[in-house]
Structure 1
Amino acid sequence: MRSSMKASVASLALAVLAGAPAFAQQRTLTYYADYDPAPLAAMEGIIADFEAANPDIDVVLQNFDHEGYKTAIRNFLTADAPDLANWYAGNRMAPFVNAGQFMDVSDVWEANDLGTKLASAKASMTIDGKQWGVPYTYYQWGIYYNKDVYAQVGAEVPATWDDFIANCAKFKEAGIDCLTTGTKALWPGAGIFDYMNLRTNGYEFHMDLTAGKVAWTDDRVKATFAEWAKLVEPGYVTANHAAIDWQDAAALLVQGKAANYVMGNFAVAVFKEGGMTNDTLGFMAFPTINPDVPRAEEAPTDTIHIPSGAKNVEDAKLFLAYIAEAGPQTKINAAMGQLPINAGSEVADDPFLQAGFELLSTTPGGIAQFFDRDAPAEMAKIGMEGFQQYMVQPDQLDNILERLEKARERIYK
């Protein structure tokens, strides 16, 4: 035993004298992100787990506030790129992909069977048939409804748009808003438009429209508004929606003054703070309008990318493969109160998260990112102003679409 120890020490000394590394060299992986406190703590735990599994790699995380990050990323992708960077899926990543600033990571997807594990989000990560990052969290949109109000008027949960509109007549007769929303901040109206359009024309059309490839005066856009008119023209939407915020509309649902609300899952906390319980609050997918259109859903998706200027690409790809796995996605989403994308992940014991996970994991038609993520900022603002005006003045539709079309021609040059 003693002689073998001496031999080992001698071998180590010879290695050092010869200039050969006796231990593996530490490699640095730089990561720029924009996490809130709870998910930041979770990600730091995931990084620690990754480093324990890969002791040669030191992950250096630099965290920015959300607004600062939006400016910073445009600078650091050009000047001094990290090895990993947070961003968003869909058309929000397209400018960086088209500018050659995000790296193609299709090999990571193929080597780790991510097309199966992350199937629901693959379309939103794909441009020109290639994948440009890895998604780690999203949350569902859909319709939240007051079960007591449904029981009060004898309405069943609708499967189709026609069923939904038939219910609206019952609610109106009872003096209840069929659909509430608060569009003072504009974006809630975009959620309604997106679902009307996704159910009428499908995911690819939504992506083409928000990418400026389709005229706003196109007959297919008008078909979306024709379905929306069935809700707006009879007065089935909260009348003063343009003057109230989304939380004010949430109060109407809580109070039983409204039956339905198209909203994201983050609103559940507000509903429950108002006094609703799992017994009184329901969730459903937005009903089918065109049965020939595969069901697509709205689920803003956060992602991690490898900038083209990354210095440690090999380890960056190892980290992307790690964050795509079920365990890390379970851990960070538990902290965020959101949904993992890996279909093998576990979801918190919450009926709305469970319903959202089932909804999104089985979505055949694609995951949209929400209008103001999928469209450029200027087009998003003009579009959302148009949606708000339409719900107040449906007779102005032609003028609204002409205005949006002029904006499209200017913005997407």
Structure 2
Amino acid sequence: MNFRDALLVVLFFCASSLLSAEEIRVSLQLQPNQRDTFERIFQQFQVETGIKIVSVVETDLGYKRKVPLWLIERKDTPDVMFWSASQRLYLYAEKGLILPITELWDEQNYDELFSHVKTGVTLNGEVYAIPFAYYHWGLFFRKSMVEQFGGAPEDWESFIAVLTRMKKAGITPIGIGTRQNWPAAAWFDYINLRMNGLDFHLELLNGNVSFHDARVQNVLLEWKRLIDSQFYNEDHENYDWDGVLPFFYRNKMGFMLLGNFVASRWPVRDPLFEDIGFMPFPTINRGIPYYENAPTDVFMIPKSTTKVAEAKAFLRFMARADVQTTLNKDLGYLPPNREATVGEDRFIRDGAELISRAAGLAQYFDRDTPPAFDELATPLLADYISTGNIDALTEGLEAARITIFGLTPNPQDSQPVP
């Protein structure tokens, strides 16, 4: 056999091997600059296992529209799906559309590595997903600007005092973009967590407490102080969550309450990057421990897949400490695996410290409440920043609670709070 024939034989067998290689489709909900990070991890998985990954990528809203089609209508469903822990996961687990992975979880002793986030992937004793990333929330600000107005505040009254001084100086104290509504929910989440704690917060978001309750009304009153003082940008409904960043960069806005997904937008090669600071949401009720929002991203296996073994191999891979270390370092997130290493980025270090001191973690309003309630409630919260109308917000939220959770109205709930 001459060299040419030998080369053709080698190429034939290589091609045959590639054609016969196993392949799974994995869906991802990504920011535009995150795809390369995942593709590098997926390539490592293929090298180690021989299983090729075909990624199915969508941005935020497009992905959320696809999920029901994939899971309920089973149209072109991926073999593994990116999703969110807590209520978004439970919705499909309750319908029997996600494969339980409790046996895998127990075999791998994942309680030792993920017990702190297990609740968000467990329903009725069954585990349904692998947590692979989470990220912290807090207040971002320009350090040089805030120093001019008294420095980063730790408690609520000091925070309001700084905002007041900014307003008098002609600066918009709080920047927010609510075109997609959900950023407004962060303010409700944090004020409620700081005033009433995590257990009450989750009871409220699961329909077990009336929005007429005095504790909820007090939250709305504190939030109203910010609204009535005109601390938010008036045109917030015209901007996406990242649409106000140019104003922030130009010192026209003081604080932004965001998750560390904003790291994908920071101008890291610009000198102003070093001037961006981070702080926890300030204390309001000193008797309440610190609770933080830390939305958790997971991978789950649709019940309809025919490639269960390959999908489980992928989940085992994504649960590994080394994989989570590499992935989250590049994403700017935190690895849930306790044996993983946190990246050197200063905001990630801040987030790790924030979460380590937290007495408990919430997932975020739209993940801690059923999707049907979120769809009705979140636009009301965004509108509240414009109106400051407590009565309208309370009645709207309470009507949504009664409708979504199948409750009977209680006439006493509509009485004024004493």
Q: Tell me the TM-score normalised to structure 2 length.
A: 0.78
Identity of aligned residues (%): 29
Q: Is 1:86 matched up with 2:86?
A: no
1:202–1:365 contact (8 Å) kept in structure 2? no
**1:338–1:79 distance in 2 versus 1, CA, 3 Å:** same
**1:108–1:359 distance in 2 versus 1, CA, 3 Å:** farther
Q: Secondary structure at the match of 1:247?
A: coil
Q: Is 1:63 matched up with 2:60?
A: no
Residue in structure 2 matched with residue 10 of structure 1 by the alignment: none
The aligned amino acid for 2:383 is Q
How many angstroms apart in 1 are the aligned matches of 2:57 and 2:78?
17
1:120–1:364 contact (8 Å) kept in structure 2? no
2:25–2:56 contact (8 Å) kept in structure 1? no
Q: Secondary structure at the match of 2:278?
A: strand
**1:367–1:343 distance in 2 versus 1, CA, 3 Å:** farther
| Superposed counterparts of 1:351-390, under 5 Å | 351-368=346-363, 370-390=364-384
Q: Is 1:211 matched up with 2:206?
A: yes
Q: Is 1:34 matched up with 2:34?
A: no
Query: What is the Cα-based RMSD across aligned positions, in Å?
Result: 3.2
The aligned amino acid for 1:73 is W
Following superposition, the deviation at residue 303 of structure 1 comes to 0.8
Residue in structure 2 matched with residue 303 of structure 1 by the alignment: 298
Q: Deviations over 1:359-394 (max 9, x none)?
A: 2344331231x3334444453243222222222222
Listed as ranges, the gaps of 5+ residues in structure 2 are: 1-19, 407-418
Residue in structure 1 matched with residue 43 of structure 2 by the alignment: 45
Listed as ranges, the gaps of 5+ residues in structure 1 are: 1-25, 52-57
**1:167–1:298 distance in 2 versus 1, CA, 3 Å:** same
Following superposition, the deviation at residue 149 of structure 1 comes to 1.2
1:120–1:361 contact (8 Å) kept in structure 2? no
1:182–1:245 contact (8 Å) kept in structure 2? yes
Q: Secondary structure at the match of 2:334?
A: coil
Q: Is 1:137 matched up with 2:129?
A: no
Residue in structure 1 matched with residue 156 of structure 2 by the alignment: 161
Q: Deviations over 1:49-81 (max 9, x none)?
A: 541xxxxxx5353432333641443247x6998
Q: Secondary structure at the match of 1:239?
A: coil
Q: Tell me the TM-score normalised to structure 1 length.
A: 0.79
How many angstroms apart in 2 are the aligned matches of 1:123 and 1:292?
25
How many angstroms apart in 1 are the aligned matches of 2:362 and 2:178?
23
Q: Secondary structure at the match of 2:274?
A: coil
How many angstroms apart in 1 are the aligned matches of 2:292 and 2:87?
15
**1:220–1:102 distance in 2 versus 1, CA, 3 Å:** farther
The aligned amino acid for 2:233 is T
**1:150–1:80 distance in 2 versus 1, CA, 3 Å:** closer
How many angstroms apart in 1 are the aligned matches of 2:76 and 2:178?
40
Following superposition, the deviation at residue 279 of structure 1 comes to 3.1
Q: Is 1:73 matched up with 2:88?
A: no
Q: Which has the larger radius of gyration?
A: 1
1:232 to 215, 227, 236: 227
2:139–2:257 contact (8 Å) kept in structure 1? yes
How many angstroms apart in 2 are the aligned matches of 1:48 and 1:354?
31
How many angstroms apart in 2 are the aligned matches of 1:127 and 1:382?
24
The aligned amino acid for 2:321 is A
